[in-house]
Amino acid sequence: MSLQEFIPTPTFEDYRESFRDFFDLQRDDGVVAAAAHTVGGPIQLSVQNHRALGQILKTLGADPENEVLILTGSGEEFMMDSDPEGFELEEQDLPNWAYEYAYKDGRINISSLINDLEIPTIGIFNGPGFHSEIVLMCDITLCAEDATIFDLHYDIGSVPGDGIHSCFQELLGVKRAAYALLTGEAITARKGLEWGMVNEVLPRAASGPSGGDRRAHHEPASCHSPAHDSDRPASVEEAHRRRPGRRLRHPDVWPRRQAEVDPQPGHDLRDGEVRP
């Protein structure tokens, strides 16, 4: 017998409790469903839940009893808001959190999804929202029929990216990705299916946390030709109206950061305005 024992792996019951404020975790026969939430509803971005994503991915990957991961959001939106006080820490100590949040945690979130999970992953994009790379970079991605994919960074005065740029470039190719990133293009679920961003488009009833288990009962959605602007579903117009997130705290923060670096007034990326 070895002179040393294995370090115990945290049990599912233990880390389900630890992460309960960020993820609703369920496991059945090795299949883990992780539904990200904020107070039981759609994700509201914060420094805290941004870090929790990388932490949960590493934790799930370290548990040998997990065989498949289904990752999704909660409610009818994926992530269209930020926590009203979710960036207070960053504002109090910007030099520290610019590294801890924007660089360190952001890098870990993407690398953990790729490197720390040696099991198949199914992402379910349950509704419109930003930071969709979280589910688009899973092995298989299912999408609610009223979901809309877009990146908001350019519209809030930030460099397009923060992880989603790598996802768009990989899935869309360089030219389509550049257009989507630089214009904040709203990509419908059907167009995402046609372009290879998602594998199936499902009715909302089949796109919840257990949708991965029920998808076999639904025929894969057929590809549709891109619609003209006048034919866009209401959900896309809604995403455009709200893009880049009129309820987000980011527009209050980023213009101030930019002004600290370059105080020249009048630049449309620093004035805090939301472009139409």
* Active-site annotation, residues: 133
CA dihedral 181, 200, 243, 22 (to 10 degrees): -100
Nearest of 124, 32, 22 to residue 78 by alpha carbon? 124
170, two tokens: 């990989």
- Residues 139, 122: contact at Cβ < 8 Å? yes
Q: Which burial class, exposed, middle or buried, applies to 261 when counting CB atoms under 10 A from its CB (0-12, 13-18, 19+)?
A: exposed
Q: Cis peptide before 128, with omega less than 30 degrees from 0?
A: no
Residue 45's region, left for phi above 0, alpha for psi from -120 to 50, else beta, is beta
Nearest of 166, 108, 96, 94 to residue 137 by alpha carbon? 166
Task: Report which residue type is found at 162.
Answer: D
- Residues 190, 213: contact at Cβ < 8 Å? no
Q: At what angle are helices 174-183 and 164-172 packed, to 10 degrees?
A: 140
CA–CA gap between residue 251 and residue 245 (Å, rounded): 9
Count of beta carbons in the 10 Å neighbourhood of residue 273: 12
Count of positions (residues) in the chain: 276
- Residues 118, 166: contact at Cβ < 8 Å? no
